[in-house]
């Protein structure tokens, strides 16, 4: 049963749904595939004003494998992806995900001023670090990390969301590709930005690394501290030239965008300064790593036992995650078109699918009531 709309974003809208059989809430992200497909076509790059990102087209098998992995991901700082429902002949794809009742983290006010103090920002950032560490461990790059994709529950736990544009990373894969034009321009790493001339050249495989997420984490932390991104421009063309070249600055006076309000920032903590500089290193080869971040003095400052925390949260101690060929093939549930003569078959097929999904659970769930969105 659909309750209400939770919000809208660049890639689609999100609705709150209630499973009446299981008594649980879920979020359903509805993505318009046509708007995404236009960004995949070779000619689409030139149409994006004058700013460009290197583009390649993902292969369906790679997408399905990634979805299969994400559906098995289980981590306290990663929003669960329960199901992906698709119809090759329809405009939309449906992602059934964990509902986060706390919504997006509140990181700035209506005047664009930061809302968090250093201690709260550190807590949020630690949750982000653990979530990203886990995703990288299981072989997934998020590629769209930003404050808007950090959700929290009422208990204050922060989780990473929005896996609509992920990319499977494998050091042994010599044919690594950028799946598509993805992410938010202000959070692009320098190695992902290019000029019109560079766009025509093949994308070097060795730049598609976990370092692109580390950069986005650095921009996100900067946002939590200053309420704005570190590199700003009026057009994407300017932005893609600024990010690789402009020096990182730490303002002492923040001015609101649409009001005379201003805020004097205290001197930046030397350890926080060091962390931001190392995360926002223009050279991805020397950029700080996740492991180094977990042991950084600013990150572990208020922990009683930093070494124990780093060890206990290491994803190597979590259950191994492997996907079978069958799970890859069944990663995306096909949504049949709802012609009257097909409706009963569709519902029966979906009922069997859900029964298989939850055969080992303590309580069998049925999503038929809240999947009536077509």
User: Which pLDDT score, from 0 to 100, does residue 204 have?
Assistant: 60
Q: Which residue intervals of the chain are DSSP H helices?
A: 33-38, 44-47, 60-72, 118-137, 196-199, 211-226, 236-245, 270-279, 290-294, 306-312, 325-329, 340-357
Contact assessment for residue 214 and residue 146, using Cβ atoms and an 8 Å cutoff:
no
DSSP state of 264: E
Task: Name the residue with tokens 């529950």.
Answer: 153
Task: Name the residue with tokens 């979805």.
Answer: 67
Is residue 230 very low, low, confident or very high in pLDDT (cuts 50, 70, 90)?
A: very high
User: Which pLDDT score, from 0 to 100, does residue 54 have?
Assistant: 37
> Does the pLDDT of residue 366 top 50, yes or no?
no
Strand pairing of 81-86 and 333-334? parallel
Is residue 346 very low, low, confident or very high in pLDDT (cuts 50, 70, 90)?
A: very low
Q: Who wins on pLDDT, 178 or 252?
A: 252
User: Which pLDDT score, from 0 to 100, does residue 338 have?
Assistant: 41
Catalytic annotation, residues? 144
Q: Who wins on pLDDT, 164 or 140?
A: 140
Across 71-98, average pLDDT? 84
User: Which pLDDT score, from 0 to 100, does residue 219 have?
Assistant: 97
Q: What residue ranges define each of the domains in the chain, with the CATH number in brackets?
A: 2-325 (1.10.510.10)
User: Which pLDDT score, from 0 to 100, does residue 337 have?
Assistant: 46
Q: Whole-structure pTM over 0.85, yes or no?
A: no
Task: Name the residue with tokens 């025509």.
Answer: 200
Q: Which of 24-38, 141-155, 262-276 has the lowest mean pLDDT?
A: 24-38
Closest CA to 138 of 346, 3, 319: 319
The angle at the Cα of 95, spanning 168 to 150, to the nearest 5 degrees, equals 70
Is residue 5 very low, low, confident or very high in pLDDT (cuts 50, 70, 90)?
A: confident
Across 85-112, average pLDDT? 84
User: Which pLDDT score, from 0 to 100, does residue 286 have?
Assistant: 95
User: Which pLDDT score, from 0 to 100, does residue 163 have?
Assistant: 63
DSSP state of 149: G
């Amino acid at each position: 049963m659909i309750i209400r709309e939770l919000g809208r974003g660049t890639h689609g809208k999100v609705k709150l749904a209630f499973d009446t059989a299981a008594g649980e809430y879920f979020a359903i992200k509805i993505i318009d595939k046509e708007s995404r497909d236009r960004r995949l076509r070779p000619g689409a790059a030139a149409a994006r004003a004058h700013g460009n990102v290197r583009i390649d087209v993902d292969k369906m098998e790679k997408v399905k494998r990634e979805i299969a992995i994400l559906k098995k991901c289980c981590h306290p700082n990663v929003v669960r992806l329960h199901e992906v429902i698709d119809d090759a002949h329809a405009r939309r794809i449906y992602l059934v995900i964990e509902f986060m009742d706390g919504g997006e983290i509140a990181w700035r006010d209506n005047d664009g001023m930061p809302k968090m103090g250093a201690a709260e920002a550190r807590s949020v950032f630690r949750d982000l670090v653990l979530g990203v560490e886990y995703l990288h461990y299981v072989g997934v790059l998020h590629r769209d990390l930003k404050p808007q994709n950090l959700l929290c529950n009422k208990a204050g736990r922060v989780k990473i969301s929005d896996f609509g544009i992920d990319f499977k990373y494998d050091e042994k894969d010599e044919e690594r590709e950028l799946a598509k034009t993805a992410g938010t321009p202000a959070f692009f790493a320098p190695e992902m930005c290019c000029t019109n001339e560079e766009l025509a050249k093949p994308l070097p495989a060795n730049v598609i690394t976990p370092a692109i997420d580390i950069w986005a984490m650095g921009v996100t932390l900067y946002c939590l501290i200053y309420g704005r991104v570190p590199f700003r421009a009026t057009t994407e063309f300017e932005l893609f030239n600024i990010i690789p070249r402009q020096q990182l600055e730490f303002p002492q006076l923040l001015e609101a965008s649409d009001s005379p309000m201003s805020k004097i920032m205290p001197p930046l903590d030397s350890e926080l300064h060091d962390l931001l500089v190392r995360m926002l290193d223009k050279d991805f080869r020397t950029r700080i790593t996740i492991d180094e971040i977990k042991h950084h003095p600013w990150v572990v400052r208020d922990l009683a036992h930093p070494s124990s925390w780093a060890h206990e949260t290491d994803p190597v101690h979590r259950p191994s995650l492997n996907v079978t060929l069958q799970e890859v093939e069944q990663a995306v549930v096909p949504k049949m078109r709802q012609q009257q003569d097909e409706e009963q078959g569709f519902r029966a097929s979906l009922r069997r699918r859900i029964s298989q999904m939850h055969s080992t659970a303590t309580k069998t769930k049925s999503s038929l009531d809240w999947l009536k969105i077509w």
